[in-house]
């Protein structure tokens, strides 16, 4: 299978080429890098030259998006670049889950994709922590029922807000601090962001588990997951490309359903 999976987020877009039972290429670009079908087409051909245009062997494409204005842009761009009609992921598709008492049409499709992937890999109960523009927490029961979750400000979003609101602080390089107690402004900011995020994640996960009366598997993904996951006491696995894995799974389910 040669599949192109694209996850369109508010801040960044992840693009992965799956070939030969593995992700051959994965890129992350700014969400504002390409805003027209022509720009998207050029971007795709530039990132994936091995596909060689419309006869490059691409079998399919799958797209999830939380930015509606970019849906048709990528749909047309994919069609122009590689001659494929992408599968646009929505809650009407088969995710391999059942929906609990939630307004599923108001849940970001990326959260549903993450939940489907985590449940297929680990079973349930499972909590997925996605550390992107927002930090989201999603719970799937032992029976494969999506039960809802939590949305909190993201790691980098919090950093940007801090720099914007406190002009004298200035911007500092973000990352894990060498110690908790900082001796410079930059060290203090790094420590606050890092340990604040760890505390937020661990407390929310513990409260979700207590409220649901479960002992869940906890997995994390997203841009800050590797940093925060290393210091968290509740996160057990970090899967950087969980959303792309989920898109591949959903594409295969849709393809198999169509063939049968």
Instruction: Find the helix or strand (DSSP H, E) in which 25 lies.
Output: strand 22-30
Cα separation of 140 and 19, whole Å? Answer: 29
Residues 83, 146, single domain; the answer is: no
**The CATH number of the domain where 107 resides is what?**
3.30.420.40
Question: Would you call 110 a catalytic residue per the annotation?
Answer: yes
Among candidate residues 36, 67, 88, the one where a domain is terminated: 88
Using one digit for the tens of pLDDT, what is the confidence trace for 181-223? Answer: 988 877 888 888 889 999 999 999 999 999 999 999 999 999 8
Domain enclosing residue 169, as ranges: 98-246
* Predicted structure pTM score: 0.90
β-pair partners for 15: 6, 27
pLDDT for 133 equals 85
User: Which one from 110, 130, 138, 202 is the annotated catalytic residue?
Assistant: 110
- pLDDT under 70: residue ranges of the chain: 52-56, 165-172, 260
Place of tokens 């890999």: 121
Among candidate residues 65, 88, 111, the one where a domain is terminated: 88
What residues contact residue 191 under an 8 Å CB cut-off, 6+ apart?
Answer: 177, 179, 180, 181, 182
Among candidate residues 88, 109, 126, the one where a domain is terminated: 88
Residues 62, 127, single domain; the answer is: no
Residues 140, 207, single domain; the answer is: yes
Using one digit for the tens of pLDDT, what is the confidence trace for 167-190? Answer: 555 566 777 888 999 888 778 888
Q: Are 250 and 116 contacting, i.e. CB atoms less than 8 angstroms apart?
A: yes
251 within some domain = no
Residues 34, 141, single domain; the answer is: no
Residues 166, 69, single domain; the answer is: no
User: How many domains is the chain partitioned into structurally?
Assistant: 2
Residues 111, 218, single domain; the answer is: yes
Residues 10, 107, single domain; the answer is: no
């Amino acid at each position: 299978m040669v599949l192109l999976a694209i996850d369109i987020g508010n801040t960044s877009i992840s693009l992965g080429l799956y070939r030969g039972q593995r992700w051959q290429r994965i890129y992350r670009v700014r969400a504002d890098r390409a805003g027209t079908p022509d720009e998207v087409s050029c971007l795709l051909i530039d990132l994936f030259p091995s596909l060689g245009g419309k006869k490059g062997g691409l079998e399919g494409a799958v797209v999830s998006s939380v930015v509606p204005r970019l849906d048709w842009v990528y749909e047309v761009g994919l069609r122009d670049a590689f001659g494929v009609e992408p599968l646009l992921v929505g809650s009407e598709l088969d995710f391999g889950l059942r929906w609990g008492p939630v307004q599923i049409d108001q849940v970001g499709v990326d959260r549903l994709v993450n939940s489907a992937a985590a449940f297929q890999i680990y079973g349930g109960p499972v909590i997925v922590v996605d550390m992107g523009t927002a930090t989201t927490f999603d719970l799937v029961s032992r029976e494969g029922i999506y039960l809802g979750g939590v949305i909190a400000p993201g790691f980098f979003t919090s950093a940007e807000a801090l720099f914007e609101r406190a002009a004298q602080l200035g911007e500092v390089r973000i990352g894990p601090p060498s110690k908790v107690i900082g001796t410079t402004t930059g060290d203090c900011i790094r420590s606050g962001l890092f340990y604040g995020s760890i505390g937020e994640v661990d407390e929310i996960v513990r409260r979700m588990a207590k409220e649901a009366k479960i002992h869940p598997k906890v997995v994390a993904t997203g841009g800050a997951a590797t940093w925060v996951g290393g210091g968290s006491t509740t996160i057990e696995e970090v899967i950087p490309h969980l959303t792309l894995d989920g898109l591949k799974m959903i594409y295969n389910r849709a393809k198999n359903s169509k063939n049968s």
